[in-house]
Amino acid sequence: MRDHIVRLEADHPGFNDPEYRCRRDEIALLAPPLGSAEPPQRVAYTEDEQRTWATAFEGLTALYPDHACREFLAVFGDLGYRADAVPQLADVSAFLGRRTGFRLQPVAGLVSAREFLGALSRRVFCATQYIRHHSQPLYTPEPDIVHELMGHAPMLGIPEFANLSQKIGEGSLRADERQVEQLATLYWFTIEYGVLWEEGRLRAYGAGLLSSFGELAHALSGKVEVRPFDPWQAKDTTYPITSYQPLLWSVASIGEAFARMEEFVRTV
């Protein structure tokens, strides 16, 4: 078997698909070195990839009206995504630059927590450009273009959320390794899996929820424990990566999440 640039775990849906793995490598080679300021290269997505995007897009947008926070819905509408075309990272990055000063930095795959959080401090979000395996269009065990553009990008177009992301990144610059782990955990419970209350109803603002059909439906089903967000408690709380989250942390607004994180970061 040939060596691949992109490493996949044996339980990845595309692990035994040589065509998919070669395609992943092809897209990975388009990513510039980490820290580069050059704009993302455009990807000519295949028909299979377009169909995978369409299935994920249609499933998620059916849930958004009753599951996503209102700030997300407003920016999502402005982005103008369509089911029949995978958006280009370059176009979305330009949109975010105009809105909040954030830009998207293409990466070949996962980067270290310190590198990722450090980039956030500069208002740079490390994003992948490949798409999940076509056999499971509503699931991915790792970040992909659906996760980045359906989950993160609309939220990064909201000033309060952009500020929250940057604040967590700033905390990492003077943190030791244990504190970086704690900040990564707080990132998970806010940026990835945060929920907030709107007129007495729970709504998602975390990208991990907003980009996962099954997780989003489960999180707001009433079957998940929800606690008021307390970074001092949440920072050492363990969480599963390959199953639905059993615990979520809520705020009354994204501004509240920023205020709590700002207070916490001052102690790092």
**Residues labelled catalytic:** 147, 152, 192, 211
Rounded to whole angstroms, the Cα distance separating 181 from 235 reads 8
Structure-token pair, residue 180: 């970086």
DSSP H helical segments within the chain, as ranges? 18-28, 47-67, 70-79, 89-99, 113-121, 145-146, 153-156, 159-173, 177-187, 207-210, 213-219, 231-234, 254-265
Q: Which of 266, 37, 234 is nearest to 167 (CA)?
A: 266
Q: CA 246, 251, 256, 262: dihedral to nearest 10 degrees?
A: -20
Rounded to whole angstroms, the Cα distance separating 268 from 256 reads 19
Helix (H, G, I), strand (E, B) or coil at 228: strand
Query: If you write DSSP's letter for every residue of 139-203 in order, what string do you get?
Result: --SS--HHIIIIIIHHHHTSHHHHHHHHHHHHHHHT--HHHHHHHHHHHIIIIIT-EEEETTEEE
239: region left, alpha or beta (phi > 0 left; psi from -120 to 50 alpha): beta
Pairing of strands 195-198, 124-127: unpaired
